[in-house]
Structures are given as C-alpha cells and as structure tokens.
C-alpha cells in the first residue's frame, strides 16, 4: 500500500465520518432533507449510509464515478483500501446490509470508521 493511498484512504474515512455526523441514513445510501432517496454524491443529500458517506467523500476528493481508474490509481486504490478497512472493522464486505441491520446505531457506524482508521498502515 503506497503512503499516498493510505493518506487518501484515511482522508476519505475521516470525511465520511464528518458526513455521518451531519446525518445518518438507513435503507438508502443517501437521502435529502425530506427523506427522498438521492445519489450519495448529490448536493441535496443530507444523510448518508456508511457506504454512501464513503462514496460521497470520494466524490468530494474530485473523483467522478465514471472517471478513468487508471488515470487516478491512487484515488481508486484509496477507495479500495478504505472499503477493505471498513470490511475488516464490520466483518463483512456488505456495508449496506451491515449499515441497515436492525438495531444498528450511529455509534456502531462511527466505531467501525474509527476501527478502520486504526487498521490503516501508518
């Protein structure tokens, strides 16, 4: 793992945590202020799922979902590293299913992000 990708993965996770502190969503990757489902990277989004917040933070880093991955290898690798770290923290690659599990709380989500940050190499 390159240091640039690790630093970017940490930034993505940190930004995702900030978005989740603004609003957390279950049953959709993002919702607007009326509760309507919107894309995670939408300017109208006011709450996000764990995966939605990660995708939105990736978009904030300037990566469009349709951009060429080869041209942005560090950013793409960072998203993969952040997702893998969250998978390790939650015990599953199904972040949306984990986010939406009955009884799941925002505290659980934030704890997973903190654990993921701790697993990234220094």
Q: What is the pLDDT of residue 69?
A: 45
Q: What is the pLDDT of residue 4?
A: 63
- DSSP state, 120? S
Q: For residue 7, what are its two tokens?
A: 């630093």
Q: What is the pLDDT of residue 32?
A: 98
Rounded Cα–Cα distance for residues 17 and 118 (Å): 14
User: 6-29: per-residue pLDDT in tens?
Assistant: 788 999 999 999 999 999 999 999
Q: What is the pTM of this model?
A: 0.86
When pLDDT is cut at 50, 70 and 90, the band that residue 113 belongs to is very high
Rounded Cα–Cα distance for residues 8 and 27 (Å): 27
Stretch 77-100: mean pLDDT, rounded? 94
User: 59-72: per-residue pLDDT in tens?
Assistant: 876 555 444 444 45
Q: What is the pLDDT of residue 59?
A: 85
Q: What is the pLDDT of residue 71?
A: 41
Rounded Cα–Cα distance for residues 56 and 19 (Å): 8
pLDDT at 103 over 90: yes
């Amino acid at each position: 793992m390159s240091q640039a990708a690790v630093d970017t993965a940490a930034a993505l996770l940190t930004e995702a945590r900030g978005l989740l502190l603004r609003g957390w969503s279950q049953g959709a990757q993002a919702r607007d202020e009326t509760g309507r489902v919107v894309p995670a990277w939408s300017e109208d989004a006011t709450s996000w799922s764990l995966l939605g917040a990660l995708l939105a933070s990736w978009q904030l880093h300037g990566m469009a979902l349709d951009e060429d991955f080869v041209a942005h290898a560090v950013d793409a690798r960072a998203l993969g590293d952040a997702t893998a770290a969250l998978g390790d923290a939650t015990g599953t690659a199904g972040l949306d299913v984990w986010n939406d599990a009955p009884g799941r709380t925002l505290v659980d989500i934030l704890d997973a992000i903190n654990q993921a940050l701790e697993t990234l190499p220094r």
